[in-house]
Amino acid sequence: MVLFKNLVLGQYMPTGSAIHRLDPRTKFLAIAAIMILTLAVSNIWTYVFLLAWLWGIILLAKLPVGCVFRNLRSFLWLFILTFGIHLLFTTGQPLPHIGIGTIEGFWRGLFFCMRVAILIVSAALLTLTTSPLELTDALEKILSPLRWFGLSSHALALMLVIALRFIPTFIEEANNIQKAQLARGANFGGNLARRARSLIPLLVPLFLSAFRRADELAVAMEARNYQTDAPRTHYRELSFSAADYRSLALVVLFGCMCLLAGRWLPNPSGS
């Protein structure tokens, strides 16, 4: 078993689509709005509309649908845990012909699993359609009011993007280390306690690799005389186009429709 082999969060996949050509601030604000809407609504039918909306964005971005939703397989344990807890510990009418769980628990478990799925897919969509450099520029512009408090928006944006960009790098490094240890006869199977003990030899070289990469990055930045408080210029200046304004207006319109649908449609989850 290879760790997190299905996780594509943090990767960038250029396809030249209309979604990729949008201003990165537009994509960041749109995804943030979808995430806030996901946490704000309490009707399971709204989540169905949101998943259909994300499916349409994936098709418009010309991304492989399986590649985007492959992130969910890495969090299968979380879905099982979330669904099981709500199914077994929610009071209500027992499920027919099963003997365990309740109907209310079934719908609540499905509701929260869909919530987690929407958040994961939304985050994956942002990184798959926005390069790390574009995301850094977008976050710097969005965090620019922090300068009033004496904070460097560029440094904060850079740290966030580096952390996000290094997620797939560390995962790939962990998979390579695990493959090398498997070739040497290591066993990562067995019960839960044995699997936990077998991961200890994996963590030591992984942390060493992380520290080495961080040191190399720091040396490279110092060699280029990088200063966090220095005035910065950009090779590509960000500017909103008509497509960006239309996209943001469409997101706002869709969010209002979801809120209205959540009030009118029956909610089997009872959340």
Taking only the tens place, the pLDDT of each residue in 32-82 is 999 999 998 888 889 999 999 999 999 999 988 887 777 788 788 889 999
Residue 243 forms part of a structural domain: yes
Task: With respect to residue 43, please indicate whether it lies within any of the assigned structural domains.
Answer: yes
pLDDT attached to residue 79: 92
Q: Is residue 203 part of a domain?
A: no
The residue range of the domain holding 125 is 18-154+239-264
* Assigned domain for 209 exists: no
Q: How confident is the model at residue 92 (pLDDT cuts 50, 70, 90)?
A: confident
Q: How far is CA 92 from CA 33, 45, 86, 171, 201, in A?
A: 33, 21, 11, 42, 46
Is the residue at 94 inside a domain? Answer: yes
Total of domains in the chain: 1
**pLDDT range class, residue 1, cuts 50, 70, 90:** very low
What pLDDT, on a 0 to 100 scale, did the predictor assign at position 10?
Answer: 60
219 domain residue, yes or no:
no
Burial of 36 (0-12, 13-18, 19+ CB in 10 A): exposed
pLDDT band at 30 (very low <50, low <70, confident <90, very high): very high
pLDDT (tens digit, 9 = 90+) per residue, 109-168? 999 999 999 998 998 888 889 887 787 777 777 777 655 555 555 556 566 656 555 666
Q: With a cut of 90, say whether residue 238 has pLDDT above it.
A: no
Tell how far CA 241 is from the center of its chain: 26
> Domain for residue 126, yes or no?
yes
pLDDT (0 to 100) of residue 2: 44
172 lies in some domain: no
Q: What is the dihedral of CA 58, 62, 67, 70, to 10 degrees?
A: 10
Confidence band, pLDDT 50/70/90 cuts, at residue 188: low
